[in-house]
Structure 1
Amino acid sequence: MTTPHLSFEFFPPQSLDASFRLWDTVRTLAPLDPQFVSVTYGAGGTTRDLTHDAVATIHNHYGLNVAAHLTCVEATKAETLEIAERYAQAGVTEIVALRGDPPKGQGKFTPKADGFADSCELIEALAETGKFHIRVGAYPDPHPEAADDNADIDWLKRKVDAGANSAITQFFFEAETFFRFRDRCAEAGIDAPIIPGILPIENWKGVQKFAARCGAQVPAWVGEAFEKAERDDRHDLLATAICTELCSDLIEGGVEDLHFYTLNKPALTREVAHALGITPRVALRDVA
């Protein structure tokens, strides 16, 4: 079986305890030699400064290639591009460009006055700078706001045409979901690499809520398996097995890159990597 390239998503800490969890996650997963790691924005851009600080620390102290999330919410075009320029000056050359979720309490995304109207406008502006490798989001299952079955394909095509270099998918539970999406993208003329997003299931109830918010479809067999595993106190064993099998199926289907949504909890991600035959390859660089 081909050894895939790995990448990991983290989110910025908002408390002292969360800071310890983030740095523990980075220290645990960095030796697996990720191709890149990404750092998220909170809903409504609420973690903008925290994201910048986390990106800078991971890039400078741990020597990792960091892709910083950047969204359109609650900022003018000038403010957003200023943030991008700060990343460029800090040596960060990758951005995950997203529309972003609206602030809590707002039912739908509304651009700020003189802000980017959508992710495509943001991507085009970033591409014009010539300073970044631009990654974008993609949805194998329909996005909650998708108008029809073709909307997510059409949006991804627009993003690539605007200057996106690659895409990372929302998580899903069966390899065929990704393969069908990949084939439809190819038929639509999308030639940018599409990296499957993988979510190790640390908390089954939490994942169900997460899936409902983002439109990820949960097969009945997954729910039945976790209900039984929780009764038998074998949740983590099942989570590792399901995630490893999903990754193996993807690799057998030609996938060369896997992006893990870690939720700043590294244990299951590390266990899945080990089950795939990926063990620490590099010594951790740390300023401590």
Structure 2
Amino acid sequence: MTGLSDDVSISFELFPPKTDTGVARLRESVAQLSAADPNYFSVTYGAGGTTRDRTARMVDMVSNQTGRPVAHHLTCVGASRAEIDRQAEALWAKGLRRIVALRGDLPDGETVPADGYRDAAELVGALRSVGDFDVSVAAYPEVHPEASSAEGDLDHLKRKLDNGAARAITQYTFDTDTILRFIDRARAAGIEAPIVPGIMPVANFASLRRFSEGCGASIPDWMFQMFDGLDEAPDTRAMVATCAAAEQCRRLMEAGLTEFHFYTLNQPKVSLAVCRALGLTPDIPAETAA
């Protein structure tokens, strides 16, 4: 693929590290990812708000380091309406304008607090009442595990967008046809907002299998064959992962999609290689011999 860089818009998702060493590594990763000229970065928010302070610090760090917009993830879980409103007001006051609004994962046996926002649709409405935030929400091509039906899941997505969200970012889905069918169903249901495919480059296949089981994302049989025996071969695994993600993006672009959100897992190598395959030309750092 050549000559595509003028058409492609990308963003990179990061998570807040737990250690100073992790923060230093993230700073280096951000420097490398910036070379791909992303539209923005985003920083995730732990279950129940467990990474609240670390998320805020990483948002500030990435913003100061790159000068680019950074989206702060925000969830309903573990906080009252008043607490979330105060947090949103503080984010607006410091000049942050992008938010990824999610309900968040509920710990086993727990529900959203009685005085909290019940779901992401309510959260979006509250954020938009605080300020003119640019809000992104999640979409689920394979249907959210707690949804009553595919139709109910689409209805909920429409509520989030009708309440003021600007776009939907999909959970990663490796079956490209599933993404395209989902977008067709969304359009047929009257959803006109941009739907941005979430792309998951495979950093570690064993870890991906465990994570996918928890979030309801399926892994096609061909991926098991493709990554079989590569757990201890990181260089080959990275090349295979690049080919898989680039091919998915290529097919999505053929269908008219040109915006992609990369779940980087704080590892820049494969995401940068995919960007190269999309026609972008980020500087790739020299690799030292083992």
The partner residue of 1:245 within 244, 247, 255 is: 247
Q: Which residue of 1 aligns with 2:266?
A: 264
Q: Deviations over 1:86-132 (max 9, x none)?
A: 211222101100000124xx245x11241111111111111122320
Q: Which residue identity lines up with residue 138 of structure 2 in the other structure?
A: G
Q: Quick one: distance in 1 between partners of 2:53 and 2:221?
A: 40
Task: Within 5 Å, give how 1:216-227 maps onto structure 2.
Answer: 216-227=217-228
Going from structure 1 to structure 2, the CA distance change for 1:37 and 1:221 (only over 3 Å counts) comes to: same
Q: 1:232 Cα deviation (Å)?
A: 7.4
Q: Quick one: distance in 2 between partners of 1:232 and 1:133?
A: 41
Q: Quick one: distance in 2 between partners of 1:36 and 1:98?
A: 18
Q: Quick one: distance in 2 between partners of 1:262 and 1:19?
A: 15
Task: Within 5 Å, give how 1:166-245 maps onto structure 2.
Answer: 166-230=167-231, 234-245=236-247
Q: Quick one: distance in 2 between partners of 1:255 and 1:83?
A: 34
TM-score (norm 1): 0.92
Tell whether the 8 Å contact from 2:45 to 2:51 is kept in structure 1 after alignment. yes
Q: Which residue identity lines up with residue 52 of structure 1 in the other structure?
A: A
The partner residue of 2:87 within 83, 103, 106 is: 83
**SS of residue in 2 equivalent to 1:32:** coil
Going from structure 1 to structure 2, the CA distance change for 1:232 and 1:74 (only over 3 Å counts) comes to: closer
**SS of residue in 2 equivalent to 1:150:** helix
Q: Quick one: distance in 2 between partners of 1:130 and 1:160?
A: 16
Q: 1:53 Cα deviation (Å)?
A: 1.1
Tell whether the 8 Å contact from 2:169 to 2:197 is kept in structure 1 after alignment. yes
Q: Which residue of 2 aligns with 1:71?
A: 75
**SS of residue in 1 equivalent to 2:11:** strand
**SS of residue in 2 equivalent to 1:192:** coil
Q: Which residue of 2 aligns with 1:14?
A: 18
| Structure 1 residue ranges, 4+ long, deviating more than 3 angstroms after superposition | 228-233
Q: Which residue of 1 aligns with 2:55?
A: 51
Q: Quick one: distance in 2 between partners of 1:210 and 1:161?
A: 31
Number of equivalenced pairs: 278
Q: Which residue of 1 aligns with 2:288?
A: none
Tell whether the 8 Å contact from 1:144 to 1:213 is kept in structure 2 after alignment. no
Unaligned residue ranges in structure 2 (runs of 5+): 284-290
Q: Which residue of 1 aligns with 2:137?
A: 136
Tell whether the 8 Å contact from 2:48 to 2:78 is kept in structure 1 after alignment. yes
Q: Quick one: distance in 2 between partners of 1:80 and 1:232?
A: 44
Q: Quick one: distance in 2 between partners of 1:131 and 1:157?
A: 19
Q: 1:228 Cα deviation (Å)?
A: 4.9
Q: Quick one: distance in 2 between partners of 1:111 and 1:43?
A: 12
Q: Which residue identity lines up with residue 91 of structure 2 in the other structure?
A: Y
Stretch moving more, 12-21 or 252-261: 12-21
Q: Which residue of 1 aligns with 2:279?
A: 277
Q: 1:253 Cα deviation (Å)?
A: 1.1
Q: Deviations over 1:63-88 (max 9, x none)?
A: 01111101001111111111112211
Stretch moving more, 121-130 or 263-272: 121-130
Q: Quick one: distance in 2 between partners of 1:50 and 1:172?
A: 28
**SS of residue in 1 equivalent to 2:228:** helix
Q: Quick one: distance in 1 between partners of 2:91 and 2:30?
A: 20
Q: Which residue identity lines up with residue 271 of structure 1 in the other structure?
A: A
Going from structure 1 to structure 2, the CA distance change for 1:266 and 1:232 (only over 3 Å counts) comes to: closer
Q: Quick one: distance in 2 between partners of 1:270 and 1:94?
A: 23
**SS of residue in 2 equivalent to 1:270:** helix
